[in-house]
Amino acid sequence: MIAFCVRRLLWMAATLWVVFTVTFFLVRAVPGGPFDAEREQPEEVRANLRAKYNLDAPLHEQYLTTLWEMAHGDLGYSMKMDISVNEIVADGFPVSASLGLLALTFAILLGLTTGVVSALFRGSAGDVLLRLAATVGIALPNFVIAGVAIIVFVFWIPLLPAAGWGSPRQMILPAFCLGAPYAAYVARISRTSMLDVLSQDHIRTAKAKGVGPVRVALVHALRGALLPVVSFIGPAIAGILTGSLVVEKLFAVPGIGTYFVDAALQRDLTLSMGVVMLYTLLLYSMNFLVDLSYAVLDPRVKLE
């Protein structure tokens, strides 16, 4: 276990360095600069701005300086907002984390329940309807779901607000729109996995001993059916993080995604770099935790 954790930490460090390097040179290869959209400025002012953010140094010096600062947890200063990127992250991350956690919880609970029920009633009309709903959910991107949800629940049936963040009512629509496609994936995966587990010998033995169908499903079959769902959680977290960029912008949620979109549009190099590195760290950490959960759910799995 210790050797596994050490290797994963080393791989994480290497991954962060590669992502940092690629991102650093890509954002600087795009034509234009962070101050080009400003009104006409005297050359002295422009030179002072470039010096303040170290943009007047040679490219290799900028790279080494930025790498050293990020290695010590300093994400620099936003070139447009003129405050620390660490402060922006500290302000927006709790909002994005809350939205992502709500969306993931919704996706797992709804998807797992739907998949298990569909497997237990295989071939019924309810099974067909649930599979059809899952297929539609997979086919529709979250911004389409968001548009339909706003029309239905804001204009036609005015139950929920269209934007903002803070109250429980404001959290429902963004979390639903962000998690709905992944609930559909979880439903498909859990149904297939549940059908596979229900056909195994130990399930037939449990039924032969007189164990009730509910206990067979929830105690004997569900734990084995969870492994493929757990495997999907890693990619799901990645999709929820990247999908939150659009959802946060649509619903005016003041999270990291909104800051990242604004930074990309305004060529805010430091903020863009900081958010990309934060997302990379989060994705790698979540995948690491998913790998560890395998050994908890199935003792036969050994961490190599």
Mean pLDDT of 244-254: 86
Q: Nearest 5 degrees, angle CA 43-CA 60-CA 11?
A: 135
| Averaged pLDDT, 57-71 | 90
Least confident residue range of 59-73, 199-213, 256-270: 199-213
pLDDT by residue (tens digit) across 192-240? Answer: 888 888 777 777 777 676 766 667 776 667 777 777 887 787 778 777 8
Answer whether residue 150 shows pLDDT above 80.
yes
- The pLDDT tens digits for 8-32 are 889 889 999 999 999 999 888 877 6
Tokens of 282: 């989060």
Whether residue 34 has pLDDT greater than 70: no
How much is the pLDDT for 1? 67
**Cα 268 to Cα 275: distance, rounded to the nearest angstrom:** 11
The predicted structure's pLDDT at residue 22 = 93
CA 299: distance to chain centroid?
28
Name beta bridge partners: 77: 84
> If 0-12 CB within 10 Å is exposed, 13-18 middle and 19+ buried, where does residue 168 land?
exposed
User: Who's near 184: CB < 8 A, 6+ residues apart?
Assistant: 111, 133, 134, 135, 136, 137, 138
- 42-to-45, 82, 84, 188 alpha-carbon distances in Å: 5, 20, 26, 60
| H helix count then E strand count, the chain | 12, 0
| Domains of the chain from N-terminus onward | 93-256 (1.10.3720.10)
Q: How far apart are CA 264 and CA 75, in angstroms?
A: 16
Region 41-45: mean pLDDT is 69
Residue whose C-alpha is closest to residue 272's, from 264, 282, 280: 264
**Cβ contact 272:260 at 8 Å:** yes
Summarize the chain as % helix, strand, coil (round to 5): 75, 0, 20
Q: Count how many Cα atoms sit within 13 Å of the Cα of residue 290 in the half-sphere of its side chain.
A: 19
Cβ atoms of 181 and 140 closer than 8 Å? yes
Q: Token pair of 12, please?
A: 């994480």
Tokens of 13: 């460090």
> What region, left, alpha or beta, does residue 77 occupy, with left being phi > 0 and alpha being psi -120 to 50 degrees?
beta
The backbone region for 252, taken as left when phi is positive above 0, alpha when psi lies in -120 to 50, beta otherwise, is left
DSSP-assigned beta bridge partners for residue 84: 77
What Å distances lie between residue 36 and 49, 158, 236, 279, CA to CA?
12, 43, 38, 27
pTM: 0.78
**pLDDT at residue 296 above 70?**
no
